[in-house]
Amino acid sequence: MPPALARLLRKADLPEPKGPRVVIVGGGWSGLSMAKYLRLQNPGFDVVLIDRQPAFLSFPLSNAWLADQVNMEFLSHSFFEAANRHGYRFVQASVLGFDRTSRKVFTDTGIIAYDYLVLAPGIEYDYSQIGIEDPVIQEQLYHRYPGGFFSSSELLTIKRKIQAFRRGTFLLTVPSGDYRCSAAPYERACVMAALFRRRGIRGKILILDMNNEITIMKDAFERAFHELYGDLIDYQPSSLLAGLDLEKRTIETEFDEFTFDDAIIYPPIRASRLLEEAGIADPHSTQKTARTDPFRYHLVDDERVYVTGDSRSQPFSKGGHTANSEAQYVAEVITAHALGREVEWRSPQTMCFSTVAIDPLRAMSHITYYRYDEATKDFAFDRIHSVEKWDVTGGQASIAWAEGMFRDMFYE
Amino acid sequence: MNRPLALALFLVVLVSPLAAQDEMTIVLHFTPDRENGRQVYDICARCHLPEAWGTEDGTYPQLAGQHRGVLLKQLLDIREGRRRSPLMRPFVQPRILGGYQNLVDVVTYIQQLPMNPAHGKGPWPAPTREYTQGQQLYQDNCAACHGSQGEGNDERRIPRLQGQHYAYMRRQAIAAKRGLRQVDPGMSAVIRRLSDEQLALALNYVSRIAVPKQDLAPSVSWRNPDFSEVKQ
């Protein structure tokens, strides 16, 4: 057997579990919160969190970082600290797949056996939904004009692009469907416009929105685009992409063609390919999500395997807060299963802050609760509280919110 | 209503992790300012919503109508880390919520808000056997401090349970029982004495005690007019 293969097929270096082992795939907002709350709910669990990244970088608040309102230290945190603080193990590895019969996870550092498996691998971009099928072109597009919602290198690239921009048209796209962090593309347009103003750049930010209108806090974002950044932001709704030429830097929509000098192209998204490769994705679902119990989160035919976070099947808004509040509940579900208890369904919440202006940071906020609608047999928005005025209180609240989340996942 | 509120600060001094905790209590008096309280509550309302009614599933408690002393104690406990709430902790720091006057004002504002006329109740209505069992358990174990009507005690900082969501009380009681939430020794002893089922029965009963009509909002569709300028 080639040594590389032998390495994959050995047991990963972990001590023998002292209790039922829960393996969590993905150290994002869902996985980190899950690991913490599983240990809190049942100290008897042996929890292993796997992520391929060496450190955590927050995407929430990254727009404030693009605008120099918070620093990189605020966004970056150590998986080791979280694991040490909450008493679980962090394994830096790539997950290659899993076998549900023998209950094993295959990683590039060896095999890890599980009693419960939580899949929180997040999203991937799906360029095929905008008609780009060729994987070579997909990769070119991804590397040249990343969307900033998948890997941390994208954020670094985007900041450099914004800093280097001198004149012309900067294109931003807003995807259709249930994409990650509804307000973020509009928020990003606002912070970029504020930065261009600060630097005296007379460029244009062209927003091509694949939706028919702004998807969240519509009136307020329209007001911000007109009143604050009317000279800088050109917002075009219903802009379904019909063609893209990377060399000429032109983009076609159904009715128009635009040229651009630089771009952030946020395509529609889908659940991580891990689900599809493991054969648990529903081929009829738009985002290739798994068939799970909508209240209990486990696969319909396997109460040992759970899917949470932005790769979940339920239609909740995707983002950090949803993942954190959901994980607190799912940790109780898994504990209840292991200890033979009952737990009532609780709605996650989606708290969303949107920076509109900087120096000082001024933000709006929006919180959504969900309920299950017996008539449609699906989840619907319940109470929504939207503060559609941008002020310093909102700006401070957005930072306090992120601090609270980091404390929760890493330090307390 | 604007009587002064005594604010007790418990300053915990930790000499070393092994040293005993020395508690120092300072009592200060403030005269509340409702209008300032409304403004301070703006940041709380972003999550707790303008009505402060909480959620039936127990994720958020009903804050409206709660005693000021109780609310204040929670704010200070969370600020100092005595009550673990990492998500809320940054919001109650002086840099966000402000100084002691602001704390007094915001709890005064919250206390006078009309309460949810349809809070979450336990599964057993009167006159089921479970209801009656819960009534007995409540009167025997809880009423001495929380009051026969679950009215609590402002001076003694004992929470009003009347009107609180059943699911919230149950989750808190179970959290306290498993050591996930610190409560005072008397409360802790009672909670440990009762089984999970007995706690559920007692809390079912208290969740079904009627809230005085004058404390309730006219209907579930009532919206806090103090926050009508923001879109809801």
* Interchain CB contact of B228 with A (< 8 Å): no
Residue of B46, B97, B169 for testing the chain A interface, max A β-carbons within 10 Å: B46
Among candidates A95, A112, A89, which has minimal Cα distance to A38? A89
The reply to whether domains A3-122+272-347 and A127-268 share a CATH topology is yes
- Give domain status of residue B104, yes or no: yes
- Give domain status of residue B221, yes or no: no
As a whole number of angstroms, the distance between CA A62 and CA A320 comes to: 12
Confidence of residue B25 (pLDDT cuts 50, 70, 90): low
As a whole number of angstroms, the distance between CA B86 and CA B83 comes to: 9
Question: Which among B43, B46, B90 is the nearest to A403, CB-wise?
Answer: B90
Confidence of residue B1 (pLDDT cuts 50, 70, 90): low
Q: Report whether pLDDT(B94) > 60.
A: yes
Among the candidates B89, B113, B137, a domain finishes at B113
Confidence of residue B13 (pLDDT cuts 50, 70, 90): very low
B230:A397 CB<8 A? no
B231:A219 CB<8 A? yes
* CA distances to A103, A215, A315, A322, A329 from A312, in Å: 21, 21, 8, 11, 14
- Give domain status of residue B190, yes or no: yes
Report chain A's terminal Cα–Cα distance, integer Å. 46
A148-160, pLDDT tens digit by residue? 999 999 999 999 9
**Which residue of chain B has the CA closest to A341?**
B196
Count of structural domains within chain B? 2
B77 and B138 within one domain: no
Mark A234-259 as b/e (b = at least 16 C-beta within 10 Å).
bbeeebebeebeeeebebebeeeebe
Mark A11-48 as b/e (b = at least 16 C-beta within 10 Å).
ebebeebeebbbbbbbbbbbbbbbbbbbbbbbeebbbb
**DSSP H or E segment with residue B160:** none
Phi, psi of A401 (to 5 degrees): -60, -50
Q: How far is B232 from chain A (nearest CA, A)?
A: 5
At A159, the amino acid letter reads K
8 Å CB contact between A111 and A104: yes
The percentage of chain B sitting over the pLDDT mark of 90, rounded to a whole number, equals 81
- Give domain status of residue B123, yes or no: no
Phi, psi of A393 (to 5 degrees): -55, -45
At B33, the amino acid letter reads D
Domain of B210 in residue numbering reads as 129-215
Rounded to two decimals, the ipTM of the complex is 0.91
- Give domain status of residue B120, yes or no: no
Q: Give the class (CATH, top level) of A3-122+272-347.
A: alpha beta
* CA distances to A51, A63, A178, A319, B73 from A185, in Å: 26, 9, 13, 13, 40
Q: Give the class (CATH, top level) of A127-268.
A: alpha beta
Confidence of residue B17 (pLDDT cuts 50, 70, 90): very low
Q: Report whether pLDDT(B232) > 60.
A: no
A365:B46 CB<8 A? yes
Other C-beta atoms lying within 10 Å of the C-beta of residue B66: 25
Q: Report whether pLDDT(B229) > 80.
A: no
Q: Report whether pLDDT(B18) > 60.
A: no
* Interchain CB contact of B91 with A (< 8 Å): yes
As a whole number of angstroms, the distance between CA A46 and CA B107 comes to: 41
**Which residue of chain A has the CA closest to B223?**
A385
* CA distances to B45, B72, B105 from B69, in Å: 20, 5, 12
* Interchain CB contact of B59 with A (< 8 Å): yes
Other C-beta atoms lying within 10 Å of the C-beta of residue A379: 17
B146 and B103 within one domain: no
In this prediction, residue B230 carries a pLDDT of 59
Confidence of residue B15 (pLDDT cuts 50, 70, 90): very low
A43-91, pLDDT tens digit by residue? 999 999 999 999 999 999 999 999 999 999 999 999 999 999 999 999 9
Q: How far is A140 from chain B (nearest CA, A)?
A: 40
8 Å CB contact between A298 and A292: yes
Domain boundaries, chain A: 3-122+272-347, 127-268
Question: Which among A367, A400, A408 is the nearest to B96, CB-wise?
Answer: A400
Q: What is the CATH number of the domain that holds B84?
A: 1.10.760.10
B106 and B30 within one domain: yes
* Interchain CB contact of B167 with A (< 8 Å): yes
As a whole number of angstroms, the distance between CA B223 and CA A93 comes to: 50
Average pLDDT over all residues of chain A: 96
- Give domain status of residue B180, yes or no: yes
B95 and B22 within one domain: yes
B104 and B11 within one domain: yes
The stretch B75-93 carries a mean pLDDT of 94
pTM over 0.90: yes
As a whole number of angstroms, the distance between CA B82 and CA B79 comes to: 8
Residue of A403, A406, A410, A411 for testing the chain B interface, max B β-carbons within 10 Å: A403
Phi, psi of A269 (to 5 degrees): -120, 170
Average pLDDT over all residues of chain B: 90
**β partners of residue A365:** A353, A387
Among the candidates B69, B84, B113, a domain finishes at B113
B140 and B67 within one domain: no
- Give domain status of residue B99, yes or no: yes
Spell out where B119-222 has E strands.
none
A396:B43 CB<8 A? yes
In this prediction, residue B10 carries a pLDDT of 60
